[in-house]
């Protein structure tokens, strides 16, 4: 199978186009080829497939073989791929995802190539049971959670996939690799969760590090950046738009008061093309 290695702020994927459906044993393929020593190396596989509802459909398989409902960095990569490879000549397209349905996407093109992508990520889901968490409530804001004798406070948000946002003193230096996996699989999260560790440094600036469900530590998480902005608004820490600084770079996130949708703007890059020997 031919693939293109792409990344959004260092969150990297092997992107496949031209298949009518997912290949057999796709979970095993993800585990094998996402391995950074014995495979091509990636945070996940991205399949761009036909859609009956949108211009394209995107399926994401995490590096552990599980399917992700949504991925903000992957959808920017998919959008860049279809334009740069001539599968569309429009700068406004739609991409269907499992977690968010049909998503409108606007492409920022320079010199015939996509440089930035603005994605309508949809309305955040805030009700506890729908995120999902094991907690009741229309909103899960600043709730305590205990693991290994340590108590954290989290805000729950779903952007088509679940997130737990936790505020810490200094996110870039925080030991998220220790606490992320423990929180990911906490009993409060029946489908596990992505965990964001955030520090608000101003009304329009948030620093964030992420432990992604099914992938572990990644350099960026688009849905996580969206969830963190929503959480920061709910906690009265920022306005409705802000730059979110991740290990791999910055994303601009807006939570519109008009339609309640969250919009994400950021880059996507192509690294190389290759062929997997199955």
Catalytic residues: 71, 221
Around 4, how many Cα atoms within 13 Å sit in the side-chain half-sphere? 20
The count of C-alpha atoms lying within 13 angstroms of the C-alpha of 187, restricted to the half-sphere facing its C-beta, is 3
Per-residue H/E/C for 137-177:
CCCCCCEEEEECCEEEEEEEEECCCEEEEEECCCHHHCCHH
Q: What token pair was written down for 24?
A: 């057999």
47: which strand partners?
Answer: 16, 59
Q: What is the Cα–Cα distance from 10 to 218, expressed in whole angstroms?
A: 8
How far are the Cα atoms of 42, 207, 232, 262 from residue 204, in angstroms, in the given order?
31, 10, 10, 15
d(CA 77, CA 101) in angstroms, rounded, equals 17
């Amino acid at each position: 199978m031919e693939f293109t290695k792409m990344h959004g702020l260092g969150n990297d994927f092997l992107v496949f186009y031209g298949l009518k459906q997912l290949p057999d044993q796709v979970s095993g393929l993800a585990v094998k080829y996402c391995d950074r020593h014995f495979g091509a190396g990636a945070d996940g596989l991205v399949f761009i497939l036909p859609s009956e509802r949108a211009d394209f459909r995107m399926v994401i398989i995490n590096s552990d073989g599980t399917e992700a409902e949504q991925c903000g960095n992957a959808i920017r990569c998919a959008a860049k791929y279809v334009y740069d490879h001539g599968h569309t000549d429009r700068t406004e397209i739609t991409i269907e995802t499992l977690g968010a349905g049909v998503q409108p996407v606007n492409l920022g093109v320079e010199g015939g190539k996509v440089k930035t992508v603005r994605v309508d990520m949809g309305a955040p889901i805030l009700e506890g049971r729908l995120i999902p968490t094991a907690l009741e409530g229309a909103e899960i804001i600043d709730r305590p959670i205990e693991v290994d004798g340590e108590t954290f406070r989290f805000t729950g948000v779903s952007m088509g996939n679940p997130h737990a946002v936790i505020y810490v003193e200094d996110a870039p230096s925080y030991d998220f690799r220790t606490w992320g996996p423990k929180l990911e699989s906490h009993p409060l999260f029946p489908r596990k969760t992505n965990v964001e560790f955030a520090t608000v440094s101003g009304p329009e600036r948030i620093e964030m590090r992420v432990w992604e469900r099914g992938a572990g530590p990644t350099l960026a998480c688009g849905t996580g950046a969206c969830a963190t902005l929503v959480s920061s608004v709910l906690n009265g820490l920022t306005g409705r738009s802000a730059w979110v600084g991740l290990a791999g770079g910055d994303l601009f996130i807006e939570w519109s008061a008009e339609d309640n949708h969250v919009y994400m703007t950021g880059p996507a890059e192509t690294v190389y093309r290759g062929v997997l020997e199955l």
